[in-house]
């Protein structure tokens, strides 16, 4: 299966991807994480992406598409991918469909995590991420046991540089203008699975997994 996790900044894509990855055995491919990794390695791609990310703007389509096509051409992606944060524009969606078709695959399900705007901003403002293992916490909803230290691995927690209120607001505007239209597009194709992302994390996971098994039954 190839699955897309679609939703606004802060909707819980990364959080749910971690669980779904284990449940489905699919490989988690997150465009934002790939850019942040490139930046840590000091590559040209990382520097270029940073100049857009810090403004809350989208990295140009051709750059993102090239990076994702390269990533999914690797052997670990051959039996299916869990896409997080990609596609985000209609050109990206078409490019992905085209690329998957070349492998005889298609987008099987698009999980749309629906969350009200006010909640999104609070989630973004409170997010802390572990430098070592990538686990996420939230200062408002579920803080780590020790301040700035990861419960899982003892790593340092940091706040993403694009998680300031001003940049987060702009990321939401960009999402409404450029990514929201994809919801109607996938709904028309019949691949959209709408999930109430405002529930507690484990309830979101349960709803998602139940929805996915419904889809798998229909495919049989």
Based on the shown chain and the rule CB under 5 A, indicate whether residue 12 belongs to the binding site for Mg ion: no
Return the residues of window 126-185 that contact ligand AP5 according to CB under 6 A: 126-127, 136-138, 141, 162, 171
Please give the sequence-ordered ranges of beta strands (E in DSSP) within the chain, or none if there are none. 3-7, 27-30, 81-84, 109-114, 127-130, 136-138, 157-158, 192-196
Q: Which of 12, 14, 56, 197 binds Mg ion (CB under 5 A)?
A: 14
Kind of pairing between the strands at 157-158 and 81-84: unpaired
Catalytic residue among 105, 114, 160, 169: 160
Distances (CA, A) of 48 to 66, 163, 192: 14, 18, 32
135 binds, among Zn ion, ligand AP5, Mg ion, none (CB under 5 to 8 A by kind): Zn ion
Interface pattern 93-122 for ligand AP5 (x via CB under 6 A): ------------------------------
Please say which residue, 70 or 216, places its beta carbon nearer to ligand AP5.
70
Is there a contact between 159 and 172 (Cβ–Cβ < 8 Å)? no
- Binds ligand AP5 by CB under 6 A, chosen from 32, 96, 157, 212: 32
d(CA 48, CA 57): 12
Residue 71 annotated to the active site = no
Q: Which stretch binds ligand AP5 (CB under 6 A): 20-28, 58-66, 72-80, 212-220?
A: 58-66
Q: Which residues contact 14 (CB under 8 A, 6 or more apart)?
A: 30, 33, 84, 136
3-state secondary structure of 131: coil
Stretch that binds ligand AP5, among 30-38, 40-48, 102-110, 146-154 (CB under 6 A): 30-38
Nearer to ligand AP5, 20 or 204 (CB): 204
Of these, 2, 56, 110, 121, which contacts ligand AP5 (CB under 6 A)? 56
**Distance, C-alpha 164 to centroid of its chain:** 19
Residue 14 or 56: the one with the smaller Cβ distance to Mg ion is 14
- CA-based angle 21:171:143, to the nearest 5? 55
Residues with a known catalytic role: 13, 88, 127, 160, 171
Binding-site ranges for ligand AP5 (CB under 6 A): 7, 9-15, 31-32, 35, 52-53, 56-59, 64, 85-86, 88, 92, 123-124, 126-127, 136-138, 141, 162, 171, 200-201, 204
């Amino acid at each position: 299966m190839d699955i897309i996790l679609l939703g606004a900044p802060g909707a819980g894509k990364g959080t749910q991807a971690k669980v779904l990855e284990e449940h489905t055995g699919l490989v988690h491919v997150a465009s934002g994480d790939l850019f942040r990794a490139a930046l840590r390695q000091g590559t040209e791609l990382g520097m270029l992406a940073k100049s857009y990310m810090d403004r809350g703007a989208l990295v140009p389509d051709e750059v993102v598409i090239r990076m994702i096509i390269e990533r999914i051409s690797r052997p670990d992606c051959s039996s299916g991918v869990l896409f997080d944060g990609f596609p985000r524009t209609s050109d990206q969606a078409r490019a992905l469909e085209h690329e998957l078709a070349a492998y005889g695959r298609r987008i099987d399900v698009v999980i749309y995590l629906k969350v009200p705007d006010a909640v999104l901003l609070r989630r973004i403002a409170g997010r802390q991420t572990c430098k070592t293992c990538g686990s996420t916490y939230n200062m408002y909803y579920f803080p780590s046991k020790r301040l700035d230290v990861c419960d899982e691995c003892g790593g340092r927690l940091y706040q993403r540089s694009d998680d300031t209120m001003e940049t987060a607001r702009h990321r939401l505007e960009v999402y409404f203008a450029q990514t929201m239209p994809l919801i109607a597009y996938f709904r028309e194709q019949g691949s959209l699975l709408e999930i109430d992302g405002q529930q507690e994390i484990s309830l979101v996971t349960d709803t998602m997994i139940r929805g996915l098994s419904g889809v798998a039954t229909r495919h049989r």
